[in-house]
A and B are shown apart, each in its own frame.
Chain A
Amino acid sequence: MAVSISVQSEPFDAAVEVSRLHQANPRVGAIVSFLGLTRDVNEGEPVQAMTLEHYPGMTEKALAAICAEAERRWPLEGIRVVHRIGELRPTDPVVLVAVASRHRSDAFRACELVIDYLKTRAPFWKKERTPFGERWVEARASDESAEQRWREGSP
């Protein structure tokens, strides 16, 4: 199975990334993708821009480990993860997770696991610029509980 991970400051084209997952692979019967976007409001305040910082080296390793976990759990044909760094503006795509499999249920579940784990395990940090100044985004308890759903033995 092909896993491809990019951490980049350049924009990406989600449609192109998704089509690459199945071209020349007729075994793919389903692709599920998640596209995360920059919103213009957070915690009730307008957001003008967002800067994404990461830990070069560890980020790629953490994302590879997350994709390996998805591959271990479901029969997959490919995973593509693209995450932007640097300055982003409202409506800009931040992250793409696309998973290809023979049947849809495996792709749906694997895609959700990868984004849930990415949110709690991959070393990225967001800083927002609002009209009142800059602030670091706080980790959300809801992301932690989303990750816990995937623990082995969880219902």
Chain B
Amino acid sequence: MIRLLYFASLRERLGVGEEQLAAPPGVGDVQSLLAHLRARGGRWSDALAPERPLLVAVNQEIAAARQAVGDGDEVAIFPPVTGG
């Protein structure tokens, strides 16, 4: 299972903060995971639209689009950070 986390405005748009996802066939990296989630349609395709400036962390480190993702990974998706 992949543990998925959503934060801040993205969590509110999706209406969910966390879920467990069995790695679907064809999902092996960050960009294919995002494409899979967008394909759910509705709020998912809107909130995760490619033009939105979202960041992805794999196992708590910022990840690039082609970084591998699979069972046992923690993947977080969130908007640009605004701390400090």
Taking beta carbons and an 8 Å cutoff, which residues of A are in contact with B? 36, 52-55, 57-58, 61-62, 83, 94-95, 115, 118-127, 136-140, 143
From A94, A122, A136, A143, contact of B8 by CB (8 A): A136
What number of B residues sit within 8 Å (CB to CB) of A? 17
CB-CB < 8 A to A36: which residues of B? 84
Quick check: is B61 within 8 A (CB to CB) of the other chain? yes
Quick check: is B83 within 8 A (CB to CB) of the other chain? yes
From B8, B78, B80, B81, contact of A127 by CB (8 A): B8
CB-CB < 8 A to B62: which residues of A? 121
CB-CB < 8 A to B53: which residues of A? 139
Minimum CB–CB distance from A16 to chain B (whole Å) comes to 21
Among residues of B, the one whose C-beta sits closest to the C-beta of A137 is B82
Q: A136-B8, A136-B9 are in contact. Are A125 and B79 (CB under 8 A)?
A: yes
Among residues of A, the one whose C-beta sits closest to the C-beta of B83 is A124
